[in-house]
């Protein structure tokens, strides 16, 4: 913000920065969620054909991360 700029200019700058921050923060949430879902589905497909303790542990950890992402998404919805 610029103390010498008009109120309208400062509001426009703030809106631009807030929009960028929103994309940076919440865009990453959506990307992370998509990646987690693909990984979880892949682990679940492999689990149908063979049992692997390491994959089961990884699947559990990824599901925990997905729960965190869901909480972050919920927070996003409450902010709107």
Instruction: Return the domain boundaries, the chain.
Output: 30-80
52: left (phi over 0), alpha (psi -120 to 50) or beta: beta
Give the residue among 66, 21, 26 at the shortest CA–CA distance from 43: 66
Mean pLDDT per block of 10 residues along the chain (80 residues) reads 78 88 79 94 92 92 96 81
**Count of CA atoms in the C-beta half-sphere (13 A) of 27:** 6
Count Cβ atoms below 10 Å from residue 8 Cβ, excluding itself.
8
pTM of the shown model: 0.68
């Amino acid at each position: 913000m610029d103390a010498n700029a008009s109120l309208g200019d400062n509001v426009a700058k703030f809106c631009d920065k807030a929009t960028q921050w929103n994309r940076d923060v919440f865009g990453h949430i959506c990307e992370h969620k998509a990646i987690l879902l693909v990984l979880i589905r892949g682990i679940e497909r492999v689990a149908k054909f063979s049992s692997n303790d390491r994959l089961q542990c990884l699947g559990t950890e990824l599901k925990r991360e997905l729960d965190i992402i869901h909480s972050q998404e919920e927070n996003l919805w409450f902010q709107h």
